[in-house]
Chains A and B, each alone.
Chain A
Amino acid sequence: MLRNSFILGFATCLFAGSALGDITVEITKGGVARTPVAVVPFGWEGRAADMPLDIAEVIAADLQRSGRFAPIAEENMLQKPTTGAELDFDDWSFVKAEAVVVGRIVQTGDNAYDVSFQLFDVFRREQLVGYRIPASRGTMRIVAHRAADMIYEKLTGIKGVFATKVAFVTAERNQQGQTFRLVVADQDGANETVVLQSADPLMSPAWSPDSRRLAYVSFENDRSSVWVQTLRTGNRIQVSNKPGINGAPSFSPDGRQLVLTLGGIDGNLDIHVLDLSTRQTRRLTTHRAIDTEGSWSPDGRYVYFTSDRSGGPQVYRVAAAGGTPERVTFEGSYNARPRLSPDGKRLAMVHLDRGNYRIAVMDVKTKGLLVVSAGQQDESPSFAPNSDTLIYATRQARNGVLETVTADGLIRQRVSSGQGDVREPVWSPFPRY
């Protein structure tokens, strides 16, 4: 087993004195051969005092964390070129690197930089991609992730998700009870930002398709309500506050509607659709059983949801326009919290696997089910926007921690925050530049 653990710092926190721990990423299961690559430290041209962060280190960490690459340590590099012209392919063949990334950062103003990088195939001795991106100190990290995305896609054919974010909820016990925080962080754990803090439970975060807003459930005033909060401004709007349960929000692909669960005064949980501009709700299911955890299919045609109308919880789907629900899962006694991959080909869910709650991925076409996690109480699967990887919550001792796993189950990694009980991760859509 690979235990290649490293710390990614730069945690920022809006609440002084309650800084969340740095996030550790470790690979818990590496089921594929890792391609050796070299990311050479970038050259620097500018005032020494203005030198930004080490871009090569961020790119190497991204590639390493994907589980598909093994970056070569700096001390094993025989040369440290910063442009393709200086590259000696024999040196890189000798250290068995299959690909080499070189680059430089040139200062063009007080807080202006040009970042350029090139990716080379060592065997074929040719450039695969070369790019120049303008940056500032504030955008340097995201530029590094974008470079890593391009490199990753060129080498694997899979779109990189290094420039995406993850939202999650943490709960920390204290003498008064618990403190709940809704947190957004870069997918590598950097730039942790507390979106909201509450003494009452926060639940079920969901990204808007443009990544600008989060919907979530709050229990402030001892009742549940659904809110939509704009991340940039912090402005929050209560969008559902009906008697009984208001829960499980999920944005429609066009961002104009939320599917949510309403319970009413008699507590009959059903799936409803809320139009965010008119505030009108439309009921999609009417069964006496628990119907909850609705989420849209990427094409907007169906709403998948959990229902225990057959006895135990199973996944169903209903046409978003309304209709008769049809059962989707038949394997096992407990299948809940369905989430479709953005390409629509796979369905992730919480699945009871021989006494353990685990994440399973179903092939929508063949209906074949694959258990991809190995914990006892895994929950809240959420696909990365490239449909290749999922993030979910698992347990480590008494605390929830996050793990990612490729949809084929081969590469699994832990992303654990240092503090509190971490749960309900949701992966953001691709950023729009």
Chain B
Amino acid sequence: MLNYKLVVTILMLALLAGCASNKVPDPEPGDSTYDAAGSGADTDMYGDDPLGGGAALDDDYTAGELTNVIYFDFDSSEVRDDFTDIVARHALILANDATVQVRLEGHADERGSREYNIGLGERRAQSVRRMLMIQGASAAQIATVSFGEERPVAFGSDEDSWGQNRRVEIKYTN
């Protein structure tokens, strides 16, 4: 089907673009679903599972790919338990090299007022920022920006899309 081909092509192109500009350790070749989640706003997922569903991570979870997207529960800016390891590993990168810088991009789902959602996205970015700083990153290494509901990765109006959009993307900027 033509539409499907188009979607796949766009996904592949976005994937390539995402790999080329990625400063964090590169993902395993072939682990495309996982990377699609990591490249966040660059990839139009059309409702794909943000966590990559069946991406097999055998041994120690922390030895797997380091993702760049932290997802949040509805109406919450608290980093969920299943993401504290990922945040810790980013904190380690920052703590080990003071020249590394990140931008934390906070996002909200589409519900409610837009400028208030900017506030909610910022709250999430700040929550990740505090966690990074507690674990050794310095304030000078971290910038935050909130895009509120303006840059969704999933465009549906349902729980699945909203869950994918409530996120903080960790972007390495140097």
A binding-site residues for B, Cβ under 8 Å: 171, 173, 175, 177-178, 201, 203-204, 219, 222-224, 244-245, 247-248, 261, 263, 265-267, 269, 290, 292-293, 306, 308, 313, 334, 336-337, 350, 352, 357, 376-377, 379-380, 395, 398, 423-424
- Cβ of B144: which chain A residues have Cβ within 8 Å of it? 244, 265, 267
Whether a CB of chain A sits under 8 angstroms from the CB of B99 is no
Whether A357 pairs with B150 at a CB distance below 8 angstroms is no
Contacts of B143 in A (CB 8 A): 223
Q: Is the CB of B114 within 8 A of A290?
A: no
The smallest beta-carbon distance between A220 and chain B, in angstroms, is 12
Provide the bound-state CA to CA distance between A224 and B105, in Å. 12
In contact, B147 and A219 (Cβ under 8 angstroms)? yes
Interface residues on B, range: 20 to 34
Out of B13, B125, B145, which one reaches A224, CB within 8 Å? B145
Closest-CB distance, A339 to chain B (whole angstroms): 11
Q: Does B116 contact A (CB under 8 A)?
A: yes
Q: Are A377 and B110 interface neighbours, CB within 8 A?
A: yes
Q: Does A357 contact B112, Cβ atoms closer than 8 Å?
A: yes
User: Which of B66-74, B78-86, B151-159 binds A?
Assistant: B151-159
Q: In residues 106-136 of chain B, which contact A (Cβ within 8 Å)?
A: 110-116, 118-120, 122-123, 125-126, 129
Which listed residue, B44, B115, B147, touches A292 by the CB 8 Å rule?
B115
Measured CB to CB, the closest approach of chain B to A351, in angstroms, equals 10
Contact across chains for B119 and A290 when beta carbons are under 8 A apart: yes
Residues of B within 8 A of A (CB): 10, 13, 41-42, 44, 103, 105, 110-116, 118-120, 122-123, 125-126, 129, 139, 143-148, 150-151, 155-157
- Taken together as a complex, chains A and B put the C-alpha atoms of A292 and B116 apart, in Å, by 7
Point out the residue from A201, A245, A376 that lies within 8 Å of B122, measured CB to CB.
A245
Chain B residues with CB under 8 A of A204: 114-115
Q: How far in angstroms is the closest Cβ of chain B from A269?
A: 5
Q: In the complex the two chains form, what is the Cα distance from A306 to B112 in whole Å? A: 12
Shortest CB-to-CB span from A191 to chain B, Å, is: 26
Interface contact A379-B112, CB-CB below 8 Å: yes
The reply to whether A245 and B113 contact each other, CB–CB distance below 8 Å, is no
Chain B proximity of A284: nearest CB distance (Å): 16
Contact B118 A245 (CB under 8 A): yes
Which chain A residues border B10 with CB–CB below 8 Å?
Answer: 175
B126 to A266, Cβ gap below 8 A?
yes
- Which B residues are in CB contact (< 8 Å) with A266? 126
A337 in contact with B116 given A175-B10, A267-B122, A398-B155 (CB within 8 Å): yes
Complex contact B119–A292 (CB within 8 A): yes
